[in-house]
């Protein structure tokens, strides 16, 4: 009887936890639902009081206005995708290789160099943007989306994240491979890298989302309409003193957040798969 009571209590606790998580999920989804709903409203309906959650009509005219606006939205969309993909791929490669060196190789000054990497996390972008701007001006990289991507081909946070994950991996197979004559790159490619799928997925999601949302750096380095990225385009569409068409801005934002949502839904699967199917466990 006591066991049945315990199971019943656990059952109700689980239900309570699920209910709380469902409420939190709804609360997190409401802003996105409101964003999408507003993108289908007319301007007068968007400012109507009291507001209604669902639009009266599903009208795609605001999306057409975005594409016909004074900003080249499709070109800007391409710029953002280019920058985000280049930065994400670059950090997955450079951070993983650097993390392997810090986690598995023994060389003089390794710990001090890693501390120097971590110190870089303390400096905001505003501190380093001036020398970067002057250097880019001399190299002709201003108003070039690829220039924004070159700034972030590696990151201290990415190296730290991948190193910490590698330190949690057992060294038995790596030591056996060394005894069999395998080189470090082969060990990295064949043994260490396959175990990094969860960390790679997490770093990829974080890097893509962060790069997709860069505003300050893009505002300084990308001034022309043809070279700007989506956060700057949202600011232009919003207009001075937020005098722009709210429904059009919401339509542009709805299209802007779509790649981030799709990436998260796709990469989340790989995170779970990597955790459950990891070939080596402690």
Whether 49 maps to a domain, the answer reads no
Residue 54: CA atoms inside 13 Å, Cβ hemisphere, count?
3
Residue 259 has pLDDT above 80, yes or no: yes
Whether 25 maps to a domain, the answer reads yes
Whether 52 maps to a domain, the answer reads no
Same domain assignment for residues 27 and 142: no
Whether 35 maps to a domain, the answer reads yes
Same domain assignment for residues 184 and 83: yes
d(CA 162, CA 102): 10
For the segment 11-23, what is each residue's pLDDT rounded down to a tens digit? 777 788 888 888 8
DSSP state for residue 142 in the 8-state scheme: T
Whether 177 maps to a domain, the answer reads yes
Question: Higher pLDDT residue, 44 or 132?
Answer: 132
Whether 116 maps to a domain, the answer reads yes
Whether 50 maps to a domain, the answer reads no
Range of the domain at 85: 61-276
The answer, as to whether pTM is greater than 0.75, is: yes
| CATH number, domain containing residue 193 | 1.10.3720.10
Same domain assignment for residues 10 and 87: no
Same domain assignment for residues 18 and 133: no
d(CA 17, CA 40): 35
Residue 92 has pLDDT above 90, yes or no: yes
Same domain assignment for residues 34 and 65: no
Residue 82 has pLDDT above 90, yes or no: yes
The torsion angles phi and psi of 268, rounded to 5 degrees, stand at: -60, -35
* CA distances from residue 42 to 56, 238, 245 in whole angstroms, order as listed: 9, 16, 9
Confidence of residue 49 (pLDDT cuts 50, 70, 90): confident
Confidence of residue 273 (pLDDT cuts 50, 70, 90): low
Same domain assignment for residues 100 and 13: no
Same domain assignment for residues 69 and 151: yes
Same domain assignment for residues 154 and 226: yes
Same domain assignment for residues 235 and 115: yes
How many domains are there within the chain? 2
Mean pLDDT value of segment 157-168: 87
Same domain assignment for residues 25 and 78: no
Same domain assignment for residues 27 and 99: no
Whether 113 maps to a domain, the answer reads yes
Residue 282 has pLDDT above 50, yes or no: no
Residue 271 is predicted with a pLDDT of 60
d(CA 215, CA 48): 31
Same domain assignment for residues 22 and 82: no
* Placement of tokens 């009571």 in the chain: 5
């Amino acid at each position: 009887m006591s066991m049945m009571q315990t199971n019943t209590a656990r059952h109700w606790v689980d239900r309570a936890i699920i209910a709380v998580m469902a409420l939190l999920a709804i609360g997190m989804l409401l802003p996105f639902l409101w964003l999408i709903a507003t993108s289908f409203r007319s301007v007068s309906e968007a400012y109507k009081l009291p507001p209604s959650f669902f639009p009266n009509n599903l009208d795609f005219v605001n999306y057409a206005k975005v594409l016909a606006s004074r900003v080249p939205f499709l070109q800007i969309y391409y710029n953002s995708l280019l920058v985000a993909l280049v930065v994400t791929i670059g950090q997955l490669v450079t951070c993983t290789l650097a993390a392997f060196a810090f986690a598995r190789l023994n060389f003089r000054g390794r710990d001090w160099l890693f501390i120097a990497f971590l110190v870089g996390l303390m400096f905001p972008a505003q501190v380093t943007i001036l020398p970067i701007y002057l250097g880019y001006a001399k190299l002709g990289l201003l108003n070039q989306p690829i220039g924004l991507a070159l700034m972030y081909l590696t990151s201290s946070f990415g190296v730290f994240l991948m190193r910490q994950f590698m330190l949690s991996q057992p060294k038995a197979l790596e030591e056996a491979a060394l005894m069999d004559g395998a080189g470090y790159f082969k060990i990295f490619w064949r043994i260490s890298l396959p175990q990094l799928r969860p960390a790679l997925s997490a770093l990829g999601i974080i890097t893509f989302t962060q790069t997709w949302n860069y505003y300050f750096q893009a505002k300084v380095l990308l001034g022309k309409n043809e070279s700007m990225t989506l956060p700057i385009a949202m600011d232009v569409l919003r207009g001075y003193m937020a005098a722009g068409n709210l429904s059009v801005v919401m339509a542009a934002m709805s299209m802007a957040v779509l790649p981030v949502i799709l990436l998260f839904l796709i990469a989340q699967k790989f995170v779970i798969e990597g955790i459950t199917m990891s070939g080596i466990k402690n």
